Chain A
Amino acid sequence: MQTSQKTNILTVRDVCKSFKKDRTQEMLVLKEINFTLNEGEIVALLGKSGSGKSTLLRIIAGLIRPSSGEIVYRGRPVLGPARNISMVFQHFALMPWLTVLQNVELGLEALGVPRDERRTRALKAIDTVGLDGFESALPKELSGGMCQRVGFARAIVVNPDVLLMDEPFSALDVLTADNLRSDLMDLWKDKKTNTNGIIFVTHNIEEAAALADRIIIFNSDPGTIRAELQVELKQPRDDQDQSFRKLVDDIYTLMTTSMTTGAELAGTKYKDIGIGYRLPDIEISELIGLLETVDAEGENGRMDLPELAESTHKDIDELFPLTEVLELMRFGNVSKGDIEINADGRRFVELDILERKKVFAHHLIAYVPLAKHIRRVLDERPGHRADEERFLRELEDHLSEDEAERVLRVAIDWGRYAEIFAYDYNSGSLSLENPS
């Protein structure tokens, strides 16, 4: 190992990935991804859901094939799961019928390690993650945090060179996640494992800031690398520290600036969207809650995003779709790590339920083309009735089948709230009349 120049363990080169929508159309989820993992480094892949970062991790792991580009690990291309790369899963992926010990032994069994050696090594790994005494427990006897410890033990027992982690803490509650994170960092710092590099996926900004030596920030639709950020802070990091707060703030700014670039280039604050726009899965009550929070807690309808995240207990995966809807409906906008609600937004907060619905309906028809389209079709038809299939078909020109269904569901939810049309679940038909 060289001292001055870092050895490169793994390289991601020009990776693109598209999934087939149907026979003719393809959907691009990752576009031209390039980065490297160096010896002794922890890299975080940070982005909202839909940015393809989990897909990328699976490509690195050799679980799925990229459509183009390649992964090079220690000079060899990765074409299938590689021997010295191991993975920790978001939902643990433990076999419920195997005991903790058997689960940890699984990877060794696959390597053909003899029974006795297997047992010794597995026991040691279980010891390392602090699960001594639980060897014969079944996963269902354990809490989520303990299950993920088993996940870690299983991953490190095979002595991996590279450890991949897919949102390893996101299924855990806040305190447990904190505890597990610091234990992981202790393992890493004390070199208790033979691991030389870690890549992990997260949508939690603070988590990325706390753990990573380098943060790679992703854009959505299609997933591209927006920015790469070298973190110079020393471990252990104090999340109340001034420099740490600044780092978090910087990341927010980077992420929100990237989101609005398109609109800013066009010279307006807001972007115009088409009928096939992927409306985020947001309930109206959440949007109203957001408006009320910013109105009450912000200064002149303006608020720092990290502050908002803390006050609403939401991570970016929940917060960014919300701010996206806020912008879509033109009740406010986000830029440079701040959220600001406009006059419309503030007036909306003042109104009562029925008035709110009217304003919301107005904005919905004006700014969400899909809602406008549905309403227009219903207005034009003599019976004022249309089948949802009709709109699904149209959406499928732009979106995959599942995505079309999801987007239409969101539009229908919003439309029903705004009372601009009615929907019957059983027949799947949209209409203008109220249910009798």
Chain B
Amino acid sequence: MIKRNRREIFLVKDDIAAVPNRWDVLALMVVLALVVGLAWTARQMASPYYIGQALTVSLSPSHLPEYAMRTVLRIFIALIFSFLFTFIFGAWAAKSPRAERIIIPLIDILQSVPVLGFLSITVVAFIELFPDSLLGPECASIFVIFTAQAWNMVLSFYQSLRTLPPDMHEAADMFHLTAWQRFWRIEVPFAMPGLLWNTMLSLSASWFFVVFSEAITVANQKITLPGIGSYIALAIAQANLHAVFYAIFAMLVVIILYDQVLFRPLIKWSEQFKLGQTPDDKESESWVTDVLQRTQTLRYFGMAFNVFSDKFINFRLFNRPMKYVTKLPSERATFAVDMLYNSVVAIAVIATVVVLARFIFHEVGMHELLRVLVLGSYTTTRVFILVVLCSLLWVPIGVWVGMRPRATQIVQPIAQILAAFPANLLYPLVVVLIVTYHLNVEIWVTPLMILGSQWYVLFNVIAGAAALPKDLRLASANFGVKGLLWWRRFIIPAIFPYYVTGAITAAGGAWNASIAAEVVSWGHTKLVAHGLGAYITQYTTQGDFPRIALGIGVMCLYVLVFNRVLWRPLYRMAEERFSVS
């Protein structure tokens, strides 16, 4: 068979030799370094702390590796919780129609709430929870990162479970798999490719909000947790351009490392979970996987891992044999419970809306609401114009690159890394430009919003153009289809589904970035553009809860309307009309 090497990393083989080889030494060093580093960082997290104590962050570049390590650790702890949350709530929503009715709309809304909104509300609670310890602020920070990660992961997992082929369900039923076995043997593997992709998006989001999650203002006290985010915050506050460059460099190193060491192997590994047989698909490459596959010790780990996962999946306690059904619930009873449940949910929703409205309008009047709506329309306009502009720029480039395999090989990974890079690190540079050349703040702050997410348009278009069937290209060349006609009749329809996916992600990213981009500062200079993002940011610093709630509510509203009116119909059209398969 040609595809022999398409196998999981932790492969069980009978012919494992007992002698370690040279790859083992390399792998061992990497593992040891990782363990020691993480252990040391974790100890720092629990050191004593009281509010008001100044945590010093140094701008010396020699501290950067440590800071990077601490930031990475926070992000990965948050990621573990995101996975837990995903597995519990995603699966719950997919399996219980009742839970689905609450969880999915809720997550849809939470997804459009700017991360900053969670911060102001939860920090105090976490500090109360662990008095006199740095663990409080650390937990708050991790929680904020979690809110930047979890939602799209839950949605992806839920979607995957919903689309699990029915015959797999039936096979699982037929062979009496317990719910636990079914989850790990069928559902999680099936959802894995989509989940990993969303995890990558989530991590990009976490990097973006690293500054907000580490430099926390609470009760007018500024807590700066040691980490890259705080380092950047300090560099900006002190207008230290060198330090900003150091931070950018450190960030690039971290992102390239996590891309190469973590995600490439994971993506390669997850390819075995893809359904359908498309033998001509290109396999992902990963040198880390290659090294791992060559080591002997890691193969032992692999075997141990297999035995462990076997024990875990077949653990007695979780695997009560399914009872033989002897009685079925009556349909009328189910219907009654359903009705009762629906009414309780409806009442709870109405009550929440009423309480929230009263809370907000107790403080602010109709006039304020109107103002926020107008601000929201500014930000909406910005997002819209940005998406159009970046489409005009990146679609032709993406098509050009995608049609040339060599260029694609070079550009695609770069675009992916750029997408993961937190664009707000570059904001200070733009501020310097605006101040130096006295540019209009309202206009020139705008491009910042899409600085980070524009790459999604680029690499989706590249993927689309690269996936074009060759015979279509030949046919259009054969009939002499050129110029505008070539774009209108061939390229644009052909890449449309890919483009829409990219544009949706880019627009979502722009909304999220608006709270960072509409207020930018450099040293003592602070540039504020009119918009909903700026509104939320300003009142968050002041701790004005009714206005924060109002701002967030209106932003959710705009995002939801934008999605329903523009993106959903486009997406449906792309799927129905323009999919090339």
Contact with B along A52-63 (1 / 0, CB 8 A): 000000100111
Whether A106 sits at the interface, judged by CB under 8 Å, is yes
Bound CA span A107–B185, Å: 11
Asked whether A158 lies within 8 Å of B175 as measured between CB atoms, the reply is yes
Contact A137:B325 (CB < 8 A) given known A58-B170, A93-B170, A106-B175: no
Q: How far is the CB of B194 from chain A (nearest CB, A)?
A: 14
Closest B-chain residue to A94, C-beta based?
B171
Asked whether B167 lies within 8 Å of A91 as measured between CB atoms, the reply is yes
Q: How far is the CB of B258 from chain A (nearest CB, A)?
A: 24
Contact A97:B174 (CB < 8 A) given known A109-B181, A141-B1: no
Closest B-chain residue to A95, C-beta based?
B186
Asked whether B185 lies within 8 Å of A106 as measured between CB atoms, the reply is yes
Contact A63:B170 (CB < 8 A) given known A86-B175, A97-B272: yes
Q: How large is the interface on B (under 10, 10 to 19, 20 to 34, 35 or more residues)?
A: 35 or more
Interface residues of B in 252-275 (CB under 8 A from A): 272-275
Interface residues of B in 187-241 (CB under 8 A from A): 189-190, 192
A residues within 8 A CB of B314?
109, 112, 115
Asked whether A81 lies within 8 Å of B173 as measured between CB atoms, the reply is yes
Asked whether B185 lies within 8 Å of A138 as measured between CB atoms, the reply is no
Asked whether B176 lies within 8 Å of A89 as measured between CB atoms, the reply is no
Bound CA span A136–B272, Å: 13
Asked whether B325 lies within 8 Å of A80 as measured between CB atoms, the reply is yes
Asked whether B310 lies within 8 Å of A115 as measured between CB atoms, the reply is yes
Q: How far is the CB of A241 from chain B (nearest CB, A)?
A: 36
Closest B-chain residue to A113, C-beta based?
B314
Interface residues of B in 301-353 (CB under 8 A from A): 310, 313-314, 316, 319, 321-322, 324-328
Interface residues of B in 261-293 (CB under 8 A from A): 272-275, 277, 279
Q: How large is the interface on A (under 10, 10 to 19, 20 to 34, 35 or more residues)?
A: 35 or more
Whether A353 sits at the interface, judged by CB under 8 Å, is no
Q: Which of A79, A97, A426 is in CB contact (< 8 Å) with B189?
A: A97
User: When A and B form their complex, what is the total count of cross-chain residue pairs whose Cβ atoms lie within 8 Å?
Assistant: 92
Whether B168 sits at the interface, judged by CB under 8 Å, is yes
Asked whether B272 lies within 8 Å of A137 as measured between CB atoms, the reply is no
- What's the dominant secondary structure at chain A's contact region? loop
Whether B178 sits at the interface, judged by CB under 8 Å, is yes
Whether A175 sits at the interface, judged by CB under 8 Å, is no
Contact A79:B176 (CB < 8 A) given known A110-B181, A140-B277: no
Q: How far is the CB of B158 from chain A (nearest CB, A)?
A: 20
Closest B-chain residue to A78, C-beta based?
B325
Whether B441 sits at the interface, judged by CB under 8 Å, is no
Asked whether B167 lies within 8 Å of A65 as measured between CB atoms, the reply is no
Interface residues of A in 68-115 (CB under 8 A from B): 79-83, 85-87, 89-91, 93, 95-98, 106-107, 109-112, 115
Q: Which of B12, B165, B272, B321 is in CB contact (< 8 Å) with A112?
A: B321
Q: Which of B1, B167, B186, B310 is in CB contact (< 8 Å) with A89?
A: B167
Asked whether B272 lies within 8 Å of A96 as measured between CB atoms, the reply is yes
Whether B7 sits at the interface, judged by CB under 8 Å, is yes
Asked whether B168 lies within 8 Å of A95 as measured between CB atoms, the reply is yes
Asked whether B319 lies within 8 Å of A112 as measured between CB atoms, the reply is yes
Among B171, B174, B177, B279, the most chain A Cβ lie within 10 Å of the Cβ of B174
Whether B572 sits at the interface, judged by CB under 8 Å, is no
Contact A110:B175 (CB < 8 A) given known A80-B325, A95-B189, A138-B272: yes
A residues within 8 A CB of B181?
109-110
Contact A96:B273 (CB < 8 A) given known A138-B7, A141-B1: yes
Question: Assuming A97-B192, A109-B313, what are 16 further A-B pairs, CB within 8 angstroms?
Answer: A65-B328, A80-B173, A85-B174, A93-B165, A93-B167, A93-B171, A96-B272, A97-B272, A106-B175, A110-B177, A110-B178, A110-B181, A112-B316, A115-B314, A138-B6, A138-B272
Residues of chain A whose beta carbon lies under 8 Å from any beta carbon of chain B: 58, 61-63, 65, 79-83, 85-87, 89-91, 93, 95-98, 106-107, 109-112, 115, 136-138, 140-141, 154, 158, 426
Residues of chain B whose beta carbon lies under 8 Å from any beta carbon of chain A: 1, 3-4, 6-7, 12, 165, 167-168, 170-171, 173-178, 181, 185-186, 189-190, 192, 272-275, 277, 279, 310, 313-314, 316, 319, 321-322, 324-328, 577
6 contacts between A and B (CB under 8 A): A58-B170, A80-B322, A83-B324, A87-B174, A106-B175, A141-B1
